[in-house]
Amino acid sequence: MSYLEYMSEGLETDLARLPLDDLLMRKKSLRRRLASREGLQPVRIAVLGGSTTSEVVSLLDLWLLESGFSPTFHQCEYGRFYIDAVHDSQQLIDFAPQVIYIHTSVADIREFAPLQVTEAGFHECVAHEFARFAAIWAALAEKIGCMVIQNNFEFPPFAILGNQDATSRGGHTRFVAELNREFAVAAGKTPKLLIQDVCSISARIGLDRWFDQKRWFSYKIATTVEGSRALAISLNAMVGAIFGKTRKVLVLDLDNTLWGGVIGDDGPDKIQIGRETPLAEAYTAFQEYCLSLRDRGVLLAVCSKNNDEIARQGFEHPDSVLKMEHISCFKANWDPKHENIALIAKELNLGADSFVFVDDNPAERAIVRGQVGGIAVPDVGDDVANYAGVIEDGRYFEQASFSKEDLERAALYQENSSRAAFETQFADYGEYLDSLDMKAEIDRFQPVYIARIAQLTNKTNQFNLTTRRYTLAEMERIAADPEFIGIYGKLSDRFGEHGLISVALGHRKGNALHMDLWLMSCRVLKRGMEAAMLDAVAGAAGGAGISTIFGTYLPTAKNGMVAGFYREMGFSPHFPLPEGLPETATMWRLELTGYTGQNKHIKVTNNACSNPGRDSGEAATHI
């Protein structure tokens, strides 16, 4: 979806989701929109550059605004990072920055070691170059005393000596590596100095995509647009860390997020986790990634649409890396996720704006993004192999080093406890459902779908009123029998196709229709598809001269979620139970006289069910 479509749908301008082209072209209007929000925290940032800094500053500006800051920038004249810091500092002092960013690149290294130098001479050359930067940090500490962010260096665009560039004393690559090592040592010894690891950031993007000779010669910008954006994202995270805005909680979905498969349907022993298959290995690796975040202080929480008891069994799986003891807050139920996230925030006593939410389902991501102010919802997609990488790209858990954080944050800044309350997008759940732009195809059984319908009866366990299993042959026979009314539903929304996800099947007895089967895939739960299906069943039944629909609920260990389904759909309890049903079963009745459509949010097409006057002759066209 393009940015314009986001705008026209009134959705939030999530910078991480904007294509680079849109970002470039629409900087000014984005800025206007982001800056118009209330409750932004002012921050004063000086940028001392060895090259043109306006591009990276314009992007950092946007990202900081999105993070809830209202930044004011001071930029030194082109290339004057050393002079302004060490000698001619009055403007900088007058600006009174809270953070200074020294933006330098490999082009700012003045003197590399000559090719014929001795080993001692090489280290002298590095020390000489290092001293220039150390002088900057010392001067800034003395004159201003704020946090300084200094980037280390990307490797040079050319390796003049080939592979030996990394090993020879005259190699620029080796020189950069050694200088970066010195920076790392200095960072441990210099209070208020943070190193931005441009060496790694540039490597992730790739040096050939990091630096563009044409931009360098034309504008003296030391990075591509892509590179500038990566710098801005990293800096935003660092500034957030300095001001204590680091995110603290990773909220995780379960099915197809922490393990493969649907535990309620497949069973705890059938989920994909462990080392047996590539997919299982990938889920294991993602669990290991989550655990490593926990080991460094990020809290893990679970928010899943599941039966609580069944969901917990996933963590008892022998191959599960994550155990229940690692989960600080666990919510598995059938309530909307944004409500559960509000509960998690309350229980952990943390703002939801310190949460990162990970879910493979784009519709769940959309509602959480829309309903929970300030939460980060990365577009992780639905391929577990990509989850960790996308979370990494967000730089959500950046921290200034622990001792420094304690020192600086406690002393200089007060935690902003009254978090800016960002507007939520949807007035209510119905509005959210409408925003999904759902379209359903609901119709009598069609030959092409019989195999899928039979398959669904065999794998659906949770939203399944009777859990009756059918073979393909049985289902084919039923589909051809005019005494049966079988309805299937396919659903799509603006995120894509869900395919055939619901089946309702009943047989006729006199003027009544007895439902043998009613099932739906849990991934489209609470979308209003249930109502659309009932409309179709009622339409088809009414058209066949049927006046009453009977529904049965046969409880199993897994289908507790639909115990109240028929009541919710307007059915009345029916007694007594016919012979042959277990005692725990319940039966329900719906009179069709005066039935009015219940579907409000889904556009239904190809719906032949509402055609009255259907007779057995017509059944042939529907099989």
Partner 1 sequence: MPAPTQEEILEKLQPIFEEALDEPGLKVTLKSSAANTANWDSLTHIDIIESVERRFDVRFGLGELQDLKDVGDLVRLVIQKTK
d(CA 470, CA 319): 33
Question: 465 and 518 in contact (C-beta within 8 Å)?
Answer: yes
d(CA 127, CA 178): 10
**Rounded alpha-carbon distances, angstroms, from residue 143 to 81, 86, 97, 410, 490:** 15, 9, 11, 22, 67
- In this structure, which amino acid lies at residue 320? S
Q: Kindly report the CA angle at 549 between 545 and 553, in degrees rounded to 5?
A: 160
Q: Measured in whole angstroms, how far is the alpha carbon of residue 408 from the centre of its chain? A: 31
Structure-token match 């001293």, residue found: 131
d(CA 212, CA 209): 7
Least CB distance from residue 215 to partner 1, whole Å? 8
Residue 318 CB partners (closer than 8 Å, separation 6+) = 274
Q: Which of 425, 424, 421 is nearest to 40 (CA)?
A: 421
Please identify, using beta-carbon distances, which residue of 20 and 131 lies nearer to partner 1.
Answer: 20
Least CB distance from residue 99 to partner 1, whole Å? 21
Structure tokens at 333: 């139920």
Question: 500 and 519 in contact (C-beta within 8 Å)?
Answer: no
- In this structure, which amino acid lies at residue 61? D
Least CB distance from residue 8 to partner 1, whole Å? 14
- In this structure, which amino acid lies at residue 321? V
Whether cis (ω within 30° of 0) applies to the bond prior to 576 is yes
Least CB distance from residue 529 to partner 1, whole Å? 39
Please identify, using beta-carbon distances, which residue of 52 and 462 lies nearer to partner 1.
Answer: 52
Q: Inter-axis angle of helices 472-480 and 450-459, to 10 degrees?
A: 120
DSSP E strands in 222-362: the ranges are 249-252, 299-305, 327-333, 355-358
Three-class SS of residue 449? helix
d(CA 388, CA 398): 15
Please identify, using beta-carbon distances, which residue of 20 and 135 lies nearer to partner 1.
Answer: 20
For residue 213, the number of C-alpha atoms closer than 13 Å in the C-beta half-sphere is: 3
Least CB distance from residue 101 to partner 1, whole Å? 17
Least CB distance from residue 25 to partner 1, whole Å? 5
Please identify, using beta-carbon distances, which residue of 215 and 558 lies nearer to partner 1.
Answer: 215
Secondary-structure percent of the chain, ordered helix, strand, coil, rounded to 5? 45, 20, 35
Least CB distance from residue 52 to partner 1, whole Å? 9
Q: In DSSP terms, which residues pair with 489 in a beta bridge?
A: 442, 502
Least CB distance from residue 214 to partner 1, whole Å? 6
Q: Which of 356, 308, 302 is nearest to 330 (CA)?
A: 302
Please identify, using beta-carbon distances, which residue of 30 and 602 lies nearer to partner 1.
Answer: 30
Q: Can you give the length of the chain in residues?
A: 623
Least CB distance from residue 22 to partner 1, whole Å? 9
Please identify, using beta-carbon distances, which residue of 227 and 539 lies nearer to partner 1.
Answer: 227
Please identify, using beta-carbon distances, which residue of 225 and 512 lies nearer to partner 1.
Answer: 225
Least CB distance from residue 221 to partner 1, whole Å? 7
Least CB distance from residue 11 to partner 1, whole Å? 18
Please identify, using beta-carbon distances, which residue of 176 and 221 lies nearer to partner 1.
Answer: 221
**Rounded alpha-carbon distances, angstroms, from residue 413 to 43, 408, 409, 434, 544:** 11, 7, 5, 43, 73
Least CB distance from residue 361 to partner 1, whole Å? 32
Write phi, then psi, for 565 (nearest 5 degrees): -60, -50
Please identify, using beta-carbon distances, which residue of 31 and 494 lies nearer to partner 1.
Answer: 31
Please identify, using beta-carbon distances, which residue of 56 and 363 lies nearer to partner 1.
Answer: 56
Residue 177 CB partners (closer than 8 Å, separation 6+) = 155, 166
Least CB distance from residue 45 to partner 1, whole Å? 17
Please identify, using beta-carbon distances, which residue of 55 and 530 lies nearer to partner 1.
Answer: 55
Please identify, using beta-carbon distances, which residue of 25 and 185 lies nearer to partner 1.
Answer: 25
Least CB distance from residue 63 to partner 1, whole Å? 16
Q: 3-state secondary structure string, 394-422?
A: HCCCCCCCHHHHHHHHHHHCCCCCCCCCC
Please identify, using beta-carbon distances, which residue of 20 and 203 lies nearer to partner 1.
Answer: 20
Please identify, using beta-carbon distances, which residue of 29 and 621 lies nearer to partner 1.
Answer: 29
Residue 374 CB partners (closer than 8 Å, separation 6+) = 68, 351, 352, 353, 419, 420, 422
Question: 581 and 554 in contact (C-beta within 8 Å)?
Answer: yes
d(CA 405, CA 567): 55
Least CB distance from residue 79 to partner 1, whole Å? 15
Please identify, using beta-carbon distances, which residue of 220 and 574 lies nearer to partner 1.
Answer: 220
Please identify, using beta-carbon distances, which residue of 214 and 296 lies nearer to partner 1.
Answer: 214
Interface residues with partner 1 (CB under 8 A) are 20-21, 24-29, 32, 54-55, 58, 214, 217-219, 221, 225
Least CB distance from residue 27 to partner 1, whole Å? 6
